[in-house]
Amino acid sequence: MVHKLPELPYGFDALAPVISAETIEYHYGKHFQTYIDNLNRMIEGSPYEDMGIDEIVMKAGGSIFNNAAQAWNHDFYFQTLSPVPVEMPENLETALTGAFGSVSDFKTAFIKSAATLFGSGWAWLCQDKEGHLVILPTQNADNPMTQGLKPLLTVDVWEHAYYIDYRNRRAAYLEAVWNIIDWHKVAQRLI
Ligand code: MN
């Protein structure tokens, strides 16, 4: 099957000033598109040709894994951002408070994990098989599903996600992006 760039649920300028239209133009329009294009080129005639992206992420290695996982991760990231503030639903607030002490403690721990991740990668909130919430940083394209975890939230901390708007200030990007997370979508993913 030919994979297509998923549509954004908002306009290119809808997340400004937290994320500018120029960043979306490059990050979504070029980086994300390139992962999709590479994936389509690489799976042609391979055992992965007829698989969905989730299945490729779980089964492939090397360059095919990298491009499939980056496609998955970017879709998840962009779908979890909102141009209008979304209040955190009570079930998520309760779960985060139970796991991390408070929503504020979760924010501190999540941002610390994302800010201190060395090099390129992603910061995740996941749920393990017992339902426990865990914060997980992953390198490069890595995706928590391959570790048996269910992703609930991710923030992209590759430099291309923030360099146009924040230059080297990754922590400032993380603080700002916090305010445009669609907590309703995060809550819906809780098992
Ligand atoms: Mn990215």
Q: Output the domain CATH number for residue 29.
A: 1.10.287.990
> Last residue of a domain, which of 59, 79, 99?
79
Q: Which two tokens stand for residue 132?
A: 């426990």
Both 74 and 145 in one domain: the answer is: no
pTM: 0.97
User: Ligand 1 centroid vs 45 CA: distance in angstroms?
Assistant: 27
Model confidence at 99, pLDDT cuts 50, 70, 90, reads very high
Average pLDDT of the chain is 98
Over the stretch 36-83, which tens digit does the pLDDT of each residue have? 999 999 999 999 999 999 999 999 999 999 999 999 999 999 999 999
Both 26 and 111 in one domain: the answer is: no
User: Ligand 1 centroid vs 61 CA: distance in angstroms?
Assistant: 19
Both 96 and 176 in one domain: the answer is: yes
Both 26 and 64 in one domain: the answer is: yes
User: How far is CA 73 from its chain centroid?
Assistant: 5
Both 38 and 115 in one domain: the answer is: no
User: Ligand 1 centroid vs 101 CA: distance in angstroms?
Assistant: 30
Q: Which two tokens stand for residue 67?
A: 């491009």
- The reply to whether 165 falls in a domain is yes
CB contact at 8 A, 73 and 88: no
User: How far is CA 50 from its chain centroid?
Assistant: 24
Domain hosting residue 134, numbered range = 90-188
User: Ligand 1 centroid vs 38 CA: distance in angstroms?
Assistant: 15
- The reply to whether 13 falls in a domain is no
Both 41 and 124 in one domain: the answer is: no
Q: For a pLDDT cut of 90, what percent of the chain falls above it?
A: 100
